[in-house]
Amino acid sequence: MGTVHIEAEKEDIAKKVLMPGDPNRVKYIAEKYLTDAKLVNRLRGELAYTGYYKGVRVTIFSSGMGIPSMGIYSHELFDYYDVDTIIRIGTAGSYLEDLKLYDLLLADSAFSKTYFDEEAGREGDNEEVINSSQELNGVITNTARIRGIPITQGRVHTSLAFYTGESNISKYVDLGCKAVEMETYALLYNAKKFYKKATSILTISDNLVTRDVIDPMEREQKLDQMIVLALESIIKC
């Protein structure tokens, strides 16, 4: 028996999970990189496949878009399914001119001005910044070094709104944010809540300074460097 939002049986979900936002990207990764991949969830349109990458059992599970969706799925995966490690793999908009399209950003922390922490945790919580797992980030940076993959570490701004005013960019840069996306804060909050490991590897799909942007189809199927880095890293954790 699953949860309200996930139909998979408990044993169908691996202890190691990669979470793209897009269900189509889940299907792409499972079909291209996993062996013996089995579809274990399609409830509410969020796909999950469990299979093997280099002999290690891994689940690829779509988080959907935004803090609420990531908050629900990461909570249930950590709490009910006893998942140990989640790496979000997604896209982000760069706040910096020199962080260009297709560059990889490893989140060392996430900033969000939201009530998610208070409503999902304890009254009085006021955590605007949540840190990623240092252990997990260490594995990822070492794997990137070995494979010759350039990667930048830095804070991400997890926004509640996709369409935001450009005048706000400097404010978030002053807070240490290198890019903006919509899910990492909720993932890191739940990882902290359940004493689990989590982080995000993000491909820059938009540069909000230069206005460069990746084609929508490329967002779905041309992010292989990030995908391989995440797979190679999670099997070592």
Verify whether residue 206 is a known catalytic residue: yes
Which phi and psi (to 5°) does residue 200 adopt?
-135, 135
Q: Which helix (H) or strand (E) holds 225?
A: helix 224-234
Q: What span, in angstroms and rounded, lies between the C-alpha atoms of 103 and 33?
A: 22
Distances 232 to 4, 53, 143, 147, 183 between C-alpha atoms, Å: 32, 8, 7, 10, 22
b/e sequence 102-131, b meaning 16+ C-beta within 10 Å: ebbbbbbbbbbebebbeebeeeeeebeebb
In residues, how long is the chain? 237
Catalytic residue among 98, 206, 215, 224: 206
3-state helix, strand, coil in the chain (%, to 5): 35, 30, 35
Residues noted as catalytic: 206
